[in-house]
Structure 1
């Protein structure tokens, strides 16, 4: 084979790795199953083209700290992660964001609303993998275009005063987008992944780990523990160079109950068992103050009507004083239900192309219900404090 040297050589010798000429190729052993390699600009190119200005950066920093305060029990508001299952139409997503911003303006004293802005979708088998992977929903897979659309979408959401949440799936994606994200999730399929634990340990925002698809909560609790430690791994920097990364560890990882293939796990007993699992994992810190409940996925059987019922039940329990639930997640869009992916001009506007979502009108009712639950809980706690003070006298 052209360019091969017998006997090997030092990894740093000559002009190439192992003493090989820079032009050396290995057609018999490399890229056997690769059809195309399309270079994508380094993260810095996208960030320079679509920069995070001072006002948006301030919102990201303030909202991250507010989420941390909720996790630590320093803020009695409820964290609500709400929005489309996935972003497929930036125009419709921005329409939704404007509606959500209007609700946020009247409930921000009781709810910390963070909009779901999900660009990557893990698949159980195959299917549309999200806006970044296939932004035109037609199999053209213009990832360069998708990354640009994703970054623009985040900036547009921030411009409305809404923090953004996303699921981190590919370990390279955060270099392009994480400066504009206030909260991240590691999904059920990746909760035991060493790669994603390493990733979470270096992310600058709070990160939630979902229980695995089979309902294993301990694995997610252990991920919270592992991600709080330093890790060393291969990554890339903003200039696209391969680096050996060393992280400090993320102290703000927490657990998300999302149900499983065996059924829901949002009940009061489920929450208590999950908190016990956190204790067994030695996660400590903010993670044992409570957890988030995802009303979608296995907790509703991917039925948007049942999902709304789960949120209503959670609101009632919060109003009654149940402890341990720090936040609620729900999937909602302009129109309820879902449809199969396809070119935008063939789709129903504002309807999900992945999991079924709660319609906007019902979403608004549920947000008001959650805000009312926080208000009721706050008043009950204040009344108890007065009674205890009078008793001490």
Structure 2
């Protein structure tokens, strides 16, 4: 085997014992989990807003962003429920480059997985402690989920992972909403197969154990656009796309039909400013159709302190080092405008 075994990483329960949550923080997360579940079950008509940096690259800037976001949440709490993106795993199309804080707590230094696992647990804990936000992550590595399972209130399975059986069946047992993105090919049936698998009971091997799940009734679809065979971005957030997805849910008879619309990625062609228009377009579809209003549970927006993106090492505080994001001023204005549109 051509692998160098560097060191054994602590098991999740060992890391949780070393960096525990107190009863107060556990209680905050449990309350938020129930509120989010009520939204997905249709018992609460607030809009979910999953918003934050493309990649959580540095603790200080992320916590500052989340602190500002918490103040805005207080202003819109009657209409919008915010789950902040604290994405510490960065998928790479070619498998090379910066893979997120899990791999590199400091993007300008070498990879250090042990330091990374500790750093991401401490970051999510700090966000919860200082802002009251339990968080959202991408489940890029299903076997790593348990390092953060007591902190997360939402996970997304990405466009390149959604066809993978391990992602689907692990999502069936995580106990929180799991969003399945449509694949980069745009084949909606792949996404719906993933939702079906995640909502179903499963038995499988996980972290050295044979495990059984009851299925996750909060597994749902995420529309993020796709690419054609020439690499051009094709959006799928429009009224007709939402109607089509609604029909797919009815055909499959899945529980809690739901979709989160990702306003960036192929829906925006990675033109981050388009997220403003797309978010409002989705709300317009919700206003003209009661069925779509019940189907669309929320939006996903990439947002950080500063507009755009930069290369690693350029050193602009609060600007994304991965995909470009909406800056804070535009993000705050958009959140307030969305709340008004929901009135």
Q: Is the 8 A contact 1:318 1:373 kept in 2?
A: no
Question: Per-residue CA shift, 1:85-106, capped at 9, x if unaligned?
Answer: 1111111000000000000111
Is 1:178 equivalent to 2:156 in the alignment? no
Aligned match of 2:337: 369
Aligned match of 2:115: 145
Aligned match of 2:221: 255
| 3-state SS, counterpart of residue 191 of structure 2 | helix
Q: Kindly report which structure 2 residues correspond to 1:267-278, keeping only aligned pairs within 5 A, or say none.
A: 267-278=238-249
Deviates more, 1:110-119 or 1:125-134: 125-134
Structure 1 residue 114: Cα displacement: 0.4
In structure 1, C-alpha distance between the alignment counterparts of 2:185 and 2:201, rounded to whole Å: 28
After TM superposition, which residue ranges in structure 1, 4 or more long, deviate above 4 angstroms? Answer: 319-322
| 3-state SS, counterpart of residue 69 of structure 2 | helix
| 3-state SS, counterpart of residue 98 of structure 1 | helix
Aligned match of 1:20: none
In structure 2, C-alpha distance between the alignment counterparts of 1:94 and 1:81, rounded to whole Å: 16
| 3-state SS, counterpart of residue 269 of structure 1 | helix
Aligned match of 1:337: 308
Structure 1 residue 187: Cα displacement: 0.6
Aligned match of 2:231: none
Question: Per-residue CA shift, 1:10-52, capped at 9, x if unaligned?
Answer: xxxxxxxxxxxxxxxxxxxxx22x1342211221222122212
Is 1:232 equivalent to 2:232 in the alignment? no
| 3-state SS, counterpart of residue 155 of structure 2 | strand
In structure 2, C-alpha distance between the alignment counterparts of 1:206 and 1:87, rounded to whole Å: 21
Given the alignment, which residue of 52, 57, 70 partners 1:101?
70
Deviates more, 1:205-214 or 1:322-331: 322-331
In structure 2, C-alpha distance between the alignment counterparts of 1:112 and 1:40, rounded to whole Å: 36
Given the alignment, which residue of 174, 190, 208 partners 1:219?
190
The aligned length equals: 333
Aligned match of 1:6: none
Aligned match of 2:181: 210
Deviates more, 1:242-251 or 1:357-366: 242-251
In structure 2, C-alpha distance between the alignment counterparts of 1:82 and 1:72, rounded to whole Å: 21
Q: Which has the larger radius of gyration?
A: 1
In structure 2, C-alpha distance between the alignment counterparts of 1:310 and 1:277, rounded to whole Å: 22
In structure 1, C-alpha distance between the alignment counterparts of 2:335 and 2:15, rounded to whole Å: 34
Given the alignment, which residue of 114, 128, 132 partners 2:102?
132
Given the alignment, which residue of 292, 304, 315 partners 2:260?
292
In structure 1, C-alpha distance between the alignment counterparts of 2:251 and 2:190, rounded to whole Å: 11
Q: Is the 8 A contact 1:218 1:278 kept in 2?
A: no
Q: Is the 8 A contact 1:319 1:373 kept in 2?
A: no
Structure 1 residue 197: Cα displacement: 0.7
In structure 2, C-alpha distance between the alignment counterparts of 1:372 and 1:82, rounded to whole Å: 18
Structure 1 residue 320: Cα displacement: 4.7
Aligned match of 1:45: 14
Q: Is the 8 A contact 1:215 1:259 kept in 2?
A: yes
Structure 1 residue 314: Cα displacement: 2.4
Aligned match of 1:308: 276
Q: Is the 8 A contact 2:239 2:282 kept in 1?
A: no
Aligned match of 1:119: 88
Q: Is the 8 A contact 1:232 1:247 kept in 2?
A: yes
Aligned match of 2:319: 351
Structure 1 alignment gaps of length 5 or more:
1-30, 237-241, 376-393
Deviates more, 1:181-190 or 1:333-342: 333-342
Q: Is the 8 A contact 1:113 1:163 kept in 2?
A: no
CA RMSD across the alignment: 1.5
Q: Is the 8 A contact 1:119 1:132 kept in 2?
A: yes
Aligned match of 1:246: 212
Deviates more, 1:327-336 or 1:153-162: 153-162
Structure 1 residue 319: Cα displacement: 4.5
Q: Is the 8 A contact 1:123 1:129 kept in 2?
A: yes
